[in-house]
Amino acid sequence: MSELHPLLSISDLSVEFRTRSGTVRALEKVSLDVGRGETVALVGESGSGKSVTAYALLGLLDPAARITSGHIMFGGADLRGLGERALEEMRGREVSLISQNPRGALNPIRPVGKQLADVLLRHASIARTQVQQRVVEMLAKVGIPDPARRAAAYPFELSGGMCQRVTIALALACSPSLLIADEPTTGLDVTTQAVVMDLLAELAGASRMATILITHDLALAGEYADRIVVMHAGHVVESAPTAELFARPRHPYTAKLIAATPKPDTRLADLAAIPGNLPDVRRADLPHCRYSARCERREARCEAPLPLVAVGQSHMVACWQPL
Amino acid sequence: MNAALRHLRYVLGENLVTLAAFALFVVLVAVAVLGPWIEPHDPLATDAMHALTPPSAAHWFGTDAVGRDILSRIIAATRLDLGIAFAAVVLSFAIGALAGLAAGYFGGWTERVVGRAADTIMAFPLFVLAMGIVAALGNTTPNIVYATAIINMPLYARVARTEASVLRQAGFVEAARLGGNSEARILLAQVLPNTMPLLAVQMSLTMGYAILNAAGLSFIGLGISPPTPEWGIMVAEGASNIISGEWWVALFPGLALMLAVFCFNLLGDGLRDLIDPRRRT
């Protein structure tokens, strides 16, 4: 693995779902780079393809889904060419995932310490005698008080925030080089959200782990991500360093998203709603720009195939007439 | 281990019915294990001089038509009846539950094959099916075990299939997959343990069915052959004596049979409370 290549490089990834009501083109030509130690936020509405991107890269797409084109280069190898065994080795060790439902992600009838031990024994080369000690260390590291005693607790005995800490410990147990956090704070109350995000940021920084933060919360992404990738209906519409994206959004959709995000000094009435809904991605006659139906700046040349324009250093936008 | 014992004590203290069933279970197992050492008489020794004597100090449960001590025969039969039932339950659990889990978890053709097989077995009147199997294979103890196991298998397959088809969507199963575990490993290490509380209830109930089934087969002459002591045969042998007033010949083995089935039926819920950690609150 050379430092020259990004840790993860997804290029032109397209994914289709075969459903009874037609083929859903869930992702179309999605490209995404994540460097070592970098935190990249995938932002978009529900159904915009954020999670599909993550599951495609883990090789865990639904059986109805098919990758129709593109490459997923991770650490120099194309994951699409790997067999199931190699993928199993990779999952949990190189790439791991934190889900939005921490309680559901834990086996309800197994003490959390045992579950952590399972992961360590599966992937880390560690002696059986040292596992218990490592488990307690891991639980302490994610800020669980009295970790030695909590290791024997069942998930239902812990609060939602504590469960999320346990799933973070599970995800980080084998020091992966990439962590996918799929809406990690959705199921938590607001005060816990900040604590969990700070913990994630701290642990990621300490081990130079790259993070893909999947969220619909642009404010959260703005706070924690180095770079933000905005998705809309299976397209990447804009990708830019966080500060630049907020200072100068170039895609009309990004601008609308930012306007729809509350700030301390805005009142609820000032927030702008984005008109319309995601287009029906089953349609065969989808326009090249899937945002065009909702766009106020639409004009004739928007019918042509989308360009991906570099409007600044590492600032890309898929629009004919960026702001 | 200590925690498990404390939990056992808690569950038993909480629920008197479970406590009674558990006590009965301990007695049954003790009798089955200690059988030969606690029988007051030889269960096979006939004594024409003391045929059909009513319960007395020498023969607590009386003697049968050829003078064999009924208490000793009941004790000797415990090991055989429980043994057959236990072997059958283990066999039907091992095959039925695994097939059901795989069916529910993988879906597709696995589910169709297992589902149809279970439906086919369930389509028969189960006791008649067991009779047919024993009649076709010959009435030996292993064949009684197989017949009993086969008629119980669909029950496990159905419970396991339903549970697994729900659990395969569960977050922790997904998490295990994300953690790089193979499907077989997830099925055995994540899904199976989560179905155990329900399957344990099923095991306890089918243990009762299995005892009844084994005794029933012997009762109609298709199971264990005389003179081997077995509850079903003893009831059958004693049935003709009831009219002439010797009620004890059929009553006591019948009572033993009833208590054993009763015990396992009551044990089910308690067993679930023991196994499911979510009940430890």
Say if residue A210 is exposed, middle or buried (CB neighbours under 10 Å; 0-12, 13-18, 19+).
Answer: buried
Q: What number is the ipTM of this complex?
A: 0.72
Angstroms from A122 CA to nearest CA on chain B: 8
State residue B53's pLDDT score: 83
CB contact under 8 A, A91 and B177: yes
The two counts, helices (H) then strands (E), for chain B are: 12, 0
CB contact under 8 A, A96 and B171: no
Q: Which of these, B27, B41, B70, B78, lies nearest to B251 by C-alpha position? A: B70
Can you point out the beta strands (E) in chain A? 8-19, 22-34, 39-43, 65-74, 77-78, 95-98, 178-182, 210-215, 227-232, 235-241, 309-312, 315-317
Instruction: Find out whether B257 and B231 touch, Cβ atoms under 8 Å.
Output: yes
Provide the 10 A C-beta neighbour count for residue A15: 24
State residue A8's pLDDT score: 92
User: What does DSSP say about strands A8-19 and A22-34: parallel, antiparallel, or unpaired?
Assistant: antiparallel
State residue B101's pLDDT score: 93
Q: Count structural domains, chain B.
A: 1
A106 touches B at CB < 8 Å? yes
Residues B239-274 have pLDDT tens digits of: 888 888 888 888 999 999 999 998 998 888 788 887
State residue B9's pLDDT score: 81
Six-digit token string for A198:
């700070």
CB contact under 8 A, A109 and B193: yes
DSSP type of residue B188: I
Give the sheet arrangement for strand A39-43, strand by strand. Answer: A95-98, A178-182, A210-215, A39-43, A227-232, A235-241, A315-317, A309-312
Does position B228 have pLDDT exceeding 90, yes or no? no
Residues A104-157 have pLDDT tens digits of: 889 888 899 999 998 888 877 788 888 899 899 989 988 888 999 999 999 998
Which site among B168, B169, B172 would you substitute to test the A interface, given the most A Cβ atoms closer than 10 Å to its Cβ? B172
| Structure confidence at residue B1 as a pLDDT band (50, 70, 90) | low
A25 phi/psi in degrees, rounded to 5: -90, 85
Q: What is the CATH number of the domain that holds B205?
A: 1.10.3720.10
Q: How far apart are CA A25 and CA A33, in angstroms?
A: 21
| Structure confidence at residue A3 as a pLDDT band (50, 70, 90) | low
- Residues of chain B contacting residue A104, judged by C-beta atoms under 8 Å apart: 170-172
- Residues of chain B contacting residue A163, judged by C-beta atoms under 8 Å apart: none
| Structure confidence at residue B168 as a pLDDT band (50, 70, 90) | confident
As a whole-number percent, the residues of chain A with pLDDT over 70 amount to 99
Question: ∠ at Cα A171 (A153, A104), nearest 5°?
Answer: 55
Instruction: Find out whether A168 and A196 touch, Cβ atoms under 8 Å.
Output: yes
The CATH 3.40.50.300 portion of chain A extends over 35-62+82-94+176-284+311-323
Is B47 a domain residue? Answer: no
A166 touches B at CB < 8 Å? no
Instruction: Find out whether A13 and A29 touch, Cβ atoms under 8 Å.
Output: yes
Q: How far apart are CA B209 and CA B190, in angstroms?
A: 29
CB contact under 8 A, A92 and B172: no
Say if residue A244 is exposed, middle or buried (CB neighbours under 10 Å; 0-12, 13-18, 19+).
Answer: middle
Is B85 a domain residue? Answer: yes
What's the CATH code, domain A35-62+82-94+176-284+311-323? 3.40.50.300
Does position A283 have pLDDT exceeding 80, yes or no? no
Q: Which domain holds residue B128?
A: 2-42+61-279
Residues B56-75 have pLDDT tens digits of: 888 888 888 888 888 999 99
Helix (H, G, I), strand (E, B) or coil at A265: coil
Cα torsion for A288, A290, A294, A297, to the nearest 10°?
Answer: -40
CB contact under 8 A, A109 and B277: yes
Residues B13-64 have pLDDT tens digits of: 777 888 888 899 999 999 999 988 888 888 888 888 888 888 888 888 888 8
**Sign of the CA dihedral with B181 first, then B184, B189, and B194 last:** positive
Q: Which residue has the higher pLDDT, B9 or B79?
A: B79
Is B227 a domain residue? Answer: yes
Q: How far apart are CA B74 and CA B39, in angstroms?
A: 9
Q: Which residue has the higher pLDDT, B7 or A87?
A: A87
User: What does DSSP say about strands A39-43 and A210-215: parallel, antiparallel, or unpaired?
Assistant: parallel
Residue A36 CA neighbour count, 13 Å, CB half:
11
A167 touches B at CB < 8 Å? yes
Say if residue B183 is exposed, middle or buried (CB neighbours under 10 Å; 0-12, 13-18, 19+).
Answer: middle
Six-digit token string for A103:
């309680």
Interface of A with B in 84-103 (CB under 8 A): 87-93, 96-97, 99, 101, 103
Q: Which residues contact B172 (CB under 8 A, 6 or more apart)?
A: A104, A105, A106, A107, A108, B190
Q: Report the amino acid identity of residue A172.
A: L
- Residues of chain A contacting residue B280, judged by C-beta atoms under 8 Å apart: 154
Q: Which residues contact B91 (CB under 8 A, 6 or more apart)?
A: B145, B146, B149
Instruction: Find out whether B223 and B134 touch, Cβ atoms under 8 Å.
Output: yes
Residue of A nearest to B193 (CA): A109
Is B50 a domain residue? Answer: no
Residues A52-99 have pLDDT tens digits of: 999 898 888 888 888 999 999 998 888 888 888 888 888 888 898 888
In chain A, % helix, strand, coil (3-state, to 5) comes to: 35, 25, 40
DSSP type of residue A29: E
Say if residue A38 is exposed, middle or buried (CB neighbours under 10 Å; 0-12, 13-18, 19+).
Answer: buried
Instruction: Find out whether A53 and A42 touch, Cβ atoms under 8 Å.
Output: yes
Helix (H, G, I), strand (E, B) or coil at A119: helix
State residue A212's pLDDT score: 94
As a whole-number percent, the residues of chain B with pLDDT over 70 amount to 99
Residues B196-218 have pLDDT tens digits of: 888 988 899 899 999 999 999 98
Residue of A nearest to B276 (CA): A109
Taking residues B111-117, what's their average pLDDT?
92
- State the average pLDDT for chain A: 87
Q: Which residues contact B157 (CB under 8 A, 6 or more apart)?
A: B96, B97, B99, B100, B103, B114, B117, B118
- Would you put residue A69 in left (φ > 0), alpha (ψ -120 to 50) or beta? beta
DSSP type of residue B169: T
Does position A4 have pLDDT exceeding 80, yes or no? no
- Residues of chain A contacting residue B193, judged by C-beta atoms under 8 Å apart: 107, 109-110
Does position A278 have pLDDT exceeding 70, yes or no? yes
Q: How far apart are CA A271 and CA B98, in angstroms?
A: 55
Pairs across A and B, CB distance < 8 A = 70
As a whole-number percent, the residues of chain B with pLDDT over 90 amount to 38
Q: How far apart are CA A225 and CA A246, in angstroms?
A: 12
Is B33 a domain residue? Answer: yes
- State the average pLDDT for chain B: 88
CB contact under 8 A, B178 and A92: yes
Residue of B nearest to A155 (CA): B278
Angstroms from A103 CA to nearest CA on chain B: 8
Place of tokens 């024409």: B48
Q: Report the amino acid identity of residue A303.
A: E
Instruction: Find out whether A132 and A113 touch, Cβ atoms under 8 Å.
Output: yes
Cα torsion for B174, B178, B184, B186, to the nearest 10°?
Answer: -50
Angstroms from B197 CA to nearest CA on chain A: 10
State residue A1's pLDDT score: 43
Instruction: Find out whether A38 and A226 touch, Cβ atoms under 8 Å.
Output: yes
Q: Which of the residue ranges A18-27, A157-166, A249-258, A274-283 would you say has the lowest mean pLDDT?
A: A274-283
- Residues of chain B contacting residue A90, judged by C-beta atoms under 8 Å apart: 180
Residues A177-222 have pLDDT tens digits of: 999 998 888 877 888 888 888 988 988 888 889 999 999 888 889 9
State residue B281's pLDDT score: 57
